Structure formats: C-alpha cells, structure tokens
Amino acid sequence: MSNYLSETDAGQRIMRRCNELGSISVPGAGVTRLYLSQQHRSAAETIAGWMRDAGMDARIDEAGNVVGRYHSVSGGGPYLVTGSHMDSVVHAGRYDGPLGVLTSLDCVAVLHGRGRRLPFGVEVVAFADEEGTRFRTTLAGSRAITGQFGDDLLDATDADGHSVREAMVAFGLDPGAVGNAAHRPDEVIGYVELHIEQGPVLQAANLPVGVVTAISGQTRAVMRLNGAANHAGTVPMGMRKDPLLAASEIALAVERIASAYPDTVGTVGFIKAEPGLINVIPGEVSLTVDLRSQVDGIRHAAFDELGIAAGNIAARRGVEINIDTILDLHSCPCAPDFVDRIATAVEAAGVRPLRLPSGAGHDGMAMSTMTGIGMIFVRCKDGISHSPEESVTAEDVATGAATLLHFIENFQGRP
C-alpha cells in the first residue's frame, strides 16, 4: 500500500495528484492531453499504477480508457461506476476531468486502506476522450464503455488527416477490438461523477459542492461557406462573394438567436478562412457552432432558426453554404434517486444541498444510455474552466471527496 494515505487531508492528496497528472501534457500554457497521444499513454499508465496501489485491478481498455475495479466483498461485481475523463481541451486547466478521476480513486484508496469491501464493486474509469478535441469525437471513451463506439468514430480524422483507426494502431490498440470495451448492462448498477462546476453558481451561493439535476443537451455543427477567392486590390466591394463576411454575419446571428431563447447559449469557437492571405479575398470559410439548452425542443428550434438565417445570409452574399451537424446530444436528466442520495451525502458533509443543471457536457450523457447517473459539482474559482486559470481549493476538494465517499458507501441496489 503506497504512502498515499499518509497525507491525511483528502483535498491535499487529490490536488497533489491533479498537479502531477497536469504535468503530463504537451508543452505550453495549461494542460493539453489529447486522445491517443503520447501524453494519453503516459497519463493512462500513471493512473493505472495509482489504481493498483489502491487495491484495484486496472487495465487500459480497447478504446484507451483506464478501467480500475475494486471488487465486491464476494469478489467481482456488479459495479457502481465512477470517474471522469483524462483528456483535455488545448491549454486546459488541471481539474476538468482529472478531479473526478482522482477523487474517485481516492475514495477507493480510503476503502482499501480500511480493508473495507462493499456488497457491490466500485469501478473507476478515466475516460480517454470526452472533449473530442483531437478528432471531434465527443464522448468517445464513454461511448466505447456503453457499446456505442461506431465506425463514425473510427473514421474521424484529426487536423493532420490521421484517423482514429490509424491513431489507435499507433497507440497499440486494435480498432477491430474496440467493441470489447463495452460493459454488459448487468455489470453496471449506476454511474456517479464528480466534476468542477465550470460555472459561477456555487461561488455565488458560497457553497463548496452542489447536486447536479440534469446535463444540458448540445448541438454542434460545422458550416462551410464557398465564395470566390480573388484579388484584394482589384475587385470592387459590390462585386465580391466574400464567405468571411457571410460567416461574420452568421456568428452574430448565433449570438442574436441564442440570446432570444431561454437558458440557451451559442458559441462560434472556430473560424478559418482559406487561403488566409492578407491580399486575397477568402474563397472558403469554415466555422463551428455549439448550441446548448436545458430543453431539447428549445435547442432544436434555435438551431432550425439559425439554419434559415445562415441560408439567407449566404444567398444574399452569393456564397454557397453547407451545414454539417456533427453532434446532437439530448438533454440528460440525472436519476431522481441519485439526485436525492447525493443531496443526502452533501448534507452529511455539512453543506446545504443546492440543485443545479450542468451547461457543460459530461460522460454521464453516454453512461445514461446504460444506467442511472448522478453528478456532484465542486466549486471552481470564478467558474473559470477550459483555461490554465482553472482553480479549486483543497478544502472544497475534500468536501467533494467526503460527499462522493458517502454516496458510494451508502449506495444500495437500485429500487
């Protein structure tokens, strides 16, 4: 048994490991650890070692997830699954994902340290690809665990044109075996994830942790606009077919439409003009749209309105437009009994249980296709995330860990 538990403060223990894991990154600001990269491999092996120290059988599965199992008192499962993702966006913080993985791992280390086994097993998963940063393959790790890792994911390509299939082989995985990562439904009795809030609500309420009620649905699309590349100095303004100006109007339409619908947010996170030269009117522009709302019908209505607006803008400017929806995830309610159990655990930690939705997506959206899900939020400073400025306090992390451990130790079979 490692001397991990000799640090008696759970918050300090967990944050120290978040920092250690955070150092496994592409050089640069913050953390950049992408699916099937060298950094993924190194982090996966580190996490698997920590899992074994905590008395778990640990392996890197056929999709690159790290799966650790702390067997039940009778040996084997079924398993309450917990954890979060180990991948990141570019220039991320140290806690989005890893805090959930390492807090879950800490709970098992505490059980193991006490020599305690439960009537069910506890499975900790470090999902390999929740963000989809490299291949635009959101929730790929949890889709593998739930048997939804289809060819659409294997054929996805990164900015260099490498497919997931090719990257898996380079990583040492067999793309043909990815289906073996899927869990059988009878193996899983629930999924609970601890995650930073990535928003301002808990800080405003002066609360260290919160109870998640639902995960907002999200639609992601890539819009490609084709105009007429031409000389910047010779084409009169009235004769241009400039896709970048059309894209600029569409970005403002995203803002206008998302603002007009309740509890809805819209973001253009990426825009690229080709050939991208100072003295050339762009010929082709691509931009991404990320639209989210707590209610699926509202999100779809907003997206439909945006599609019409974008088509009108393109037609008026004489450019062609293609809209490719690459993701449409329905809103995902947490299981009511999980919400209640987590609220009880938060109260046991001496905190008023505030219920709140998640605007951010999580692996629970995939896990909910297989089992009931619950989420615990931990306050993060000023709600900042997807940034090197992401930060939490050891005290709040300790409260989150106590909440998760209470949930796990008091979890009985589903009603």
**Residue 83, helix vs strand vs coil:** strand
**Annotated binding residue 220:** yes
Please identify the residue of the shown chain whose CB is closest to the bound Mn ion: 96
**Annotated binding residue 71:** no
Taking the complex as a whole, the smallest distance from the CB of residue 214 to ligand HGY amounts, in Å, to 13
Distance from C-alpha of 27 to C-alpha of 251, rounded to nearest angstrom: 32
Rounded to the nearest 10 degrees, how much is the dihedral formed by the CA atoms of 230, 235, 241, 245? 90
Which of positions 357-376 make contact with ligand HGY (CB under 6 A)?
Answer: 360-361
Taking the complex as a whole, the smallest distance from the CB of residue 79 to Mn ion amounts, in Å, to 22
Taking the complex as a whole, the smallest distance from the CB of residue 312 to ligand HGY amounts, in Å, to 29
Q: Pick from 61, 62, 106, 131: which binds ligand HGY (CB under 6 A)?
A: 131
Q: Which partner, ligand HGY, Mn ion, none, binds residue 361 by CB below 5 to 8 Å per kind? A: ligand HGY
**Annotated binding residue 85:** yes
Spell 79-112 as b/e; 16+ CB within 10 A means b. Answer: bbbbbbbbbbbbebbbbbbbbbbbbbbbbbbbbb
Distance from C-alpha of 103 to C-alpha of 107, rounded to nearest angstrom: 6
Long-range contacts of 112-119 (CB under 8 A, 24+ apart): 112/1, 112/54, 112/55, 112/56, 112/70, 113/1, 113/5, 117/70, 117/71, 117/72, 117/73, 118/72, 118/73, 118/408, 118/409, 118/411, 119/72, 119/73, 119/74, 119/412
Please identify the residue of the shown chain whose CB is closest to the bound ligand HGY: 361
**Annotated binding residue 410:** no
Which of positions 232-271 make contact with ligand HGY (CB under 6 A)?
Answer: none
Q: Applying CB under 6 A, what is the total number of residues that bind ligand HGY? A: 4
The answer to whether 190 and 414 have CB atoms below 8 angstroms apart is yes
Under the binding rule (CB under 6 A), the answer on residue 291 touching ligand HGY is no
Under the binding rule (CB under 6 A), the answer on residue 390 touching ligand HGY is no
Taking the complex as a whole, the smallest distance from the CB of residue 51 to Mn ion amounts, in Å, to 20
Could you give the string, one character per residue 97-116, with x where binding to Mn ion holds by CB under 5 A and - elsewhere?
A: x-------------------
Under the binding rule (CB under 5 A), the answer on residue 96 touching Mn ion is yes
Taking the complex as a whole, the smallest distance from the CB of residue 114 to Mn ion amounts, in Å, to 30
**Annotated binding residue 300:** no
**Annotated binding residue 414:** no
Taking the complex as a whole, the smallest distance from the CB of residue 260 to ligand HGY amounts, in Å, to 22
Which among 47-55, 92-100, 287-295, 366-374 is the span making contact with Mn ion, rule CB under 5 A?
92-100
The answer to whether 171 and 148 have CB atoms below 8 angstroms apart is no
Q: Pick from 61, 106, 123, 130: which binds ligand HGY (CB under 6 A)?
A: 130
192, 63, 60: which is closest to 122 by C-alpha?
192
Instruction: Give the helix ranges, DSSP H, for 54-195.
Output: 98-113, 140-145, 151-154, 164-171
204 Cβ contact partners less than 8 Å away, ≥ 6 residues apart = none
Interacting residues toward ligand HGY by CB under 6 A: 130-131, 360-361
Interacting residues toward Mn ion by CB under 5 A: 96-97
Binding residues for Zn(2+): 85, 96, 131, 195, 386
